[in-house]
Structure 1
């Protein structure tokens, strides 16, 4: 058995409150370890007394080491830190190795938000996030936390943050989380306002560069279309670029199904180009993305319906 409290003089004044599983013969009692059950009994007792102290921090740390997903323990720890005016920087220093040990634990990230919000500065957080992403570059909790940092400290126009996303994408062009973060950074803080001409050019050139690295990767294509849509530009502004990777006049020489999909949209909008749109969709259904043939044929049928209505 690990740490005990019943024989610790520091805890002699506390009478632990046992777990109530529903009487002498509970239907589905959880088989907690003796160490965990005892620690929780002491936590219930100090919570009943509304005690906030250094020893409570030690108790919560012990319980978290055994069960890092216990939300109530994290909340009481945060309350204790606030009440005794403990150093939040020291708490972050303790939290770092704990987070690295439990990469997918939501409670840790909520606690971290509370601490950093109280500190009022993101100093050191980008470096720690990079360390976390070295373990798992697509960890949802880490990316969500990074978005919170951007929003909390208004980093939407921070050039260092933008360059960081660029580096993450350069390292792995297929990292959808990095693409999503760049979108959040570039577009998310604009409240619907269009990008300036310089920023529009920068984003289009960046996405096109990444397409050329991996033409069959959907993320930069989606990013391109999203930027164009955000700017309220016609999809046709991407036609010449899409033709670099797909041309229905050379059906055996197509390098990207995503370019073909984009061309189908462009041709569908162009006057007199419905047949070209159908040909692009036929190529997708029969050769370049047959696993979604029903979807491409559905798109083609929609074109026929549009012609009938017209």
Structure 2
């Protein structure tokens, strides 16, 4: 049932400010509902007088329920919460079902970040994120928010972290669980990269660390050779360790060989072999053959791209 303010005695002191669409005969007036138009006219009025009150919070909640993407309403709500010293734990309790109703809304997550930052506590956030990812395991906003939490509360492996409920080691185990549940979840792979390397900026990583991450990525690739996420992660780790890409040659040969076009089980392995062969002039013929196989049989959708890289070989160009 629509909610209106003109007949509510609590709002009798407010002179609503209607939206000006450009005079009495606007060329392209937006077709808002009467309920939304009136609520916004009252919000303009309270913003004009800079009112900070409980009724304003109720008004913003009403508007957000109708239009959760209105960032101005969120910003003013955050301002009112701060000015009235509101119970921020209540705000989080209200945000939880609101986020579940609007899974792709960015403003909700920015607002939640502001509130959690002021609370200076991540208690309950891991469970809530798990609930959100059950609805959509690749929700970009949720993953971005989790990265912010990891950085905000130093939840990196070996960095101490907050407490036993959620620390760096548990965060790493959680990423492994998400990847195990869906090895093709690129968001989970991206988060693992952030977790294992985000807290090591400027540090030299150990050989044991590099071996662990290479072994982890290779084990995942063996489960799903055509999964690009794990191949990208493997390449990234090797690059981060400043190892030559040729260090992965024997592994790539597990999934692709140029001796028989029927013995290619991963186009990503074939791409890697092409890059390795192209790095040495005496194996350019092998690189050209790999590009030809990619263009004609294993990845014809990107045939022009593979032919372009093949052409660079004849020019002596870099094809990595």
Partners of 1:295 and 1:238 lie apart in 2 by 23
What is the aligned partner in structure 2 of residue 61 from structure 1? 61
Superposition pairs of residues 164-243 of structure 1, within 5 angstroms = 164-243=174-253
Deviations 1:258-283 (CA, angstroms, capped at 9, x unpaired) = 11111111122246322222222222
**TM-score (normalizing by structure 1):** 0.94
Q: How does 1:1-310 map to 2 (within 5 A)?
A: 2-157=2-157, 158-270=168-280, 272-306=282-316
Distance 1:194 1:246, change over 3 A: farther
Tell me how far apart the structure 1 counterparts of residues 289 and 143 of structure 2 sit (CA, whole Å): 40
**Conserved in 2, the CA contact under 8 Å of 1:194 and 1:230?**
no
Q: TM-score, normalised by structure 2?
A: 0.91
Partner of 2:163: none
Give the Å deviation of 1:292: 1.9
Counterpart-to-counterpart distance in 2, 1:107 and 1:217: 32
CA distance in 1, matches of 2:13, 2:203: 61
Aligned partners of 1:267 and 1:193: how far apart in 2? 32
CA–CA separation in structure 2 for the residues paired with 1:109 and 1:141: 7
Unaligned stretches of 5+ residues in structure 2: 158-167
Q: Distance in 2 between matches of 1:188 and 1:49?
A: 45
Q: How many residues align?
A: 307
- For 2:299 and 2:16, the matched residues in 1 are separated by 64
CA distance in 1, matches of 2:32, 2:10: 24
SS in 2 for 1:272: helix
Cα deviations by residue, 1:69-99 (Å, 9 ceiling, x for unpaired): 1111111110010001111111000000000
Please tell me whether the aligned partners of residues 74 and 111 of structure 1 are also in contact (alpha carbons under 8 angstroms). yes
Query: What is the distance in 1 between the residues matched to 2:120 and 2:249?
Result: 46
Over the aligned positions, Cα root-mean-square deviation in angstroms equals 1.6
